[in-house]
Amino acid sequence: MTGTREATRPAEHRSAVRSLLRLWPYVRPVHRRLAAAALVTVAASCLSLVIPLALKWTVDGPIARREPSGVWLGGLMLLLVGSAEAGLFGLRRVLVARPLARVEADMRAALYAHLQRLPVSFHDRWPSGQLLSRGTTDLMLVRIFLAFPLTFLLVNGATIVVGFTILLMQEWRLGLVLLAPVVPLVALCWFFEERYARAARTAQDRIGDLTTVIEESVLGIRIVKGFGRHPALQRAFGTLAEGLRGIELHKAALLGALWALIMILPELAVGTALVLGTLQVADGQLSTGTLVAFLSTALALRWPVESIGFLLALTNETATAADRYFEVMDTAPPAAREPRIRRPRCAPCRGDGGLRLEGVEFRYPDAPPGTPPVLRGVDLHIRRGETMALVGTTGSGKTTLVSLIPRLHEATAGRITLDGTDVTAVPRSRLRQWVAVAFEEPTLFSASAGENVLMGADDAGEEDLDRALAVAQAGFVHDLPEGHRTQVGEQGLSLSGGQRQRLALARAVVGSPRFLVLDDPLSALDVHTEALVENALREVLADTTALVVAHRPSTVLLADRVALLSQGRITAVGTHYELLHGNREYASLMSGPKGTP
């Protein structure tokens, strides 16, 4: 199973503030609503500080003078202030709900669009669960942070400043007693932040690993059950889950220790202020109402102070989520290379029509230094309307070569042209309208059979669908419960391997593409179905320029010519019979158990 990759590890030095500031482009469209919500919340929180002043007026006034009517007036003041506070907090919810849902949706859409632009090599390196957790769990944390911690860090900070100003104005000596824990609390929060950030990052990466394991187990359920591997996978999953549990307990221990100290220090300060204030009341230096108001204000500040630990924890988790999100977004899509003219090693063919590869080389981006390229100096010309078979041993680079044509991978040297146009000069969206592909491993989506086929062309209709199904000998679609509208399930697991492969082939030919790239598209078919498909394909191949990766002699016979790929180079080009009698390596490849045609 796939573990956390190095690409997902956090940087050694990070700033939570700097990470959160990167969210600004997504927050900017709704910043006025968020600012209004923050101001409303500050007003609501400051209203709570009016209650102690109302208590002071009631105690030193009506109660001290024994005036019941004044007590009722004081109670009405408290009721009005409390109602206004509740109303303002409710208004905050209304102000932030819709815009924050928009921020999350925009970030998720941006991530999805960016993933579509990134090359296949990126997806080869990154576990799917890691990407999935960034688009779900991490963005949920961002939305929660913008809705609650961000607002209340501002609100609680303002409340604490206003509250301590009131305390110092009422009795500055007792106010200084309550301010005494500020320095140790700041030092404690600084000490806590770095450790909690590391634990949060590790936990979120482990969640990505768990997501990957679950996804792979579900998609590969037939293999898991067929080989009886579920006990081993369950143990592996249990090990990961137990590791995540340990990290979450470590986070809880850190947060618990911080919260305990944040609660203890202010409580000690309030207790000390209570004793000193009581002595001052007894000596007549302080009125009872002032002491009541002072202590009520101090108690009203308990939540803003005690919530610091909780808010810092959420802030650090969100900063980590932002780091993980931008790790993907910071990966730049491959820039179009400037076409580099290179003299072909073979004699140039007349005209620029068809598909031409000139001095093409390819090396995987994450290959260790010094590793030879997979493809080296590949020169090949497929004439317009010609079908060429590509043959080679396993691991010779056939799939890599055909992936360069629609730019699923980018050639690291040389150039590829289609009817004289360099593929790097064509927008990918248009290039992939020109070039249709079908791979040996067919990928189907959780959609209907017809929708899977019509993904091959934007403007294809029912007539094109029927034609493509006929070419691919996929008439079984019409026998499904709802015909081509039948849902085939995730990865098409409700179909056989041959049926999936025929749907993938129909998808490749539905748009009548100018260029067709087929990577051993008939490997899962029985001999009878293969012959029917080949006969139908001949009509399609007559009107297109095609490159077909082939392993069987019967597939090779579909082609006008054959190219032999050996050790990353094209070593021979000719007809099947020319190579069969003139190239020992080709003859060996074609003389397997199936025999020579």
The pLDDT of residue 358 is 92
pTM > 0.75: yes or no: no
Q: Where are the alpha helices (DSSP H) in 435-482?
A: 449-454, 462-471
Distance CA 403, CA 310 (A): 50
- Measure the CA angle with vertex 157, ends 325 and 150; round to 5°: 20
Q: Which residues of the chain have pLDDT under 50?
A: 1-12, 336-351, 593-597
pLDDT confidence of residue 248? 84
**416 strand-pairing partners:** 357
CB 71 within 8 A of CB 185: no
Q: What is the pLDDT of residue 53?
A: 65
Tell me what pLDDT residue 13 has.
53
User: What is the set of domains in the chain, with CATH numbers?
Assistant: 20-329 (1.20.1560.10), 355-440+511-590 (3.40.50.300)
Q: What is the pLDDT of residues 569-588, one digit of tens each?
A: 999 999 999 998 888 998 88
| 191/195 Cα distance (integer angstroms) | 7
**pLDDT at position 345:** 38
What percentage of the chain has pLDDT greater than the value 70? 85
Contact 454, 462 (CB under 8 A): no
Handedness of CA 310, 312, 313, 319 (dihedral sign): positive
Residue among 578, 538, 571, 574 at smallest CA distance from 554? 538
Q: Give Dmax (Cα) for the chain.
A: 120
pLDDT in tens, 478-515: 888 888 888 886 666 677 777 888 888 888 888 888 89
Other CB atoms within 10 Å distance of the CB of residue 56: 22
Residue 503's pLDDT is: 86
